[in-house]
Amino acid sequence: MPFVDIGELKTHYALTGDREPVLMFSNSLGTDFSMWDPQMEELGRRFRILRYDTRGHGRSSVTAGEYTIEQLGCDVLGLLDSLLIERVHFCGLSMGGMIGIWLGIHAPTRLHRVVLCNTAARIGTREVWNARIAKVRKDGMKSVAAVVIERWFTPTFRASFPEKVARAQQMLENSPPEGYASCCAAIRDMDQREAVAQIKIPTLVIYGGSDSVIPTAEAHFLAEQIPGAAEVELAAAHLSSVEQADAFTEAVGKFLSA
């Protein structure tokens, strides 16, 4: 897989297909771009697909210092510039969705449409994130994996598809602890609630009806604040793109083709 060097950051990415426009996927906290594998076959028939590992995740470099959502958004713009891609459809889940919000506010001319999945304009409290950061730095990723997996998937899905859950947990446990912690800091310090109404490009909000990380009220807030935004509820917890892969893919494809 190729890499792009943008300043201090080496970004791992994959660009596949030859159909325009480009659909760019942005992964959630604690995952790499393989989390989008369930969407590749169907959406790859209709779009050129760009996936990348967020700074501090997967095979992208773990740079020093705590990150910010602005920094992660600028990483996206740097990657697009390096690949000479002017505009994309953007689909991000959780942390990826927060990056999508930032791009919709600050770089709307680089986006055709944006899909914000299982995400919010603000998540959690400083105390919760600081505790998570301290735990990971002290005890590593396995110390938080079991609790995180319970939030990612409903009990029914965990019981019915243990092999998919195991793959997701392995991906989480393999995440670089310092990169994970630095991205936790970006989420901790993010508050886009007032600015989100500035998004004017077509937007779809996807959320899970059983998502304990992002309460439905937070998803509704996004849809209500962004002018003309559509919303879709899926019978899933936090990783709706995995738990309800077919319905998720259908919702994204339908919205981007509208």
Q: What angle do CA 52, 226, 199 make, to 5 degrees?
A: 55
pLDDT digits (tens, 9 = 90+) for 94-109: 999 999 999 999 999 9
Distance CA 87, CA 69 (A): 20
pLDDT digits (tens, 9 = 90+) for 13-50: 999 998 899 999 999 999 999 999 999 999 999 999 99
Strand partners, 90: 24, 114
pLDDT digits (tens, 9 = 90+) for 233-246: 999 999 999 999 99
Percent of the chain with pLDDT over 90: 97
Structure confidence at residue 70 (pLDDT) = 98
Mean pLDDT, residues 121-131: 96
75's tokens: 């990483």
Structure confidence at residue 18 (pLDDT) = 87
What is the pTM for the complete model shown? 0.97
Structure confidence at residue 1 (pLDDT) = 65
Structure confidence at residue 26 (pLDDT) = 98
CB 144, CB 136: distance < 8 Å: yes
Confidence of residue 258 (pLDDT cuts 50, 70, 90): confident
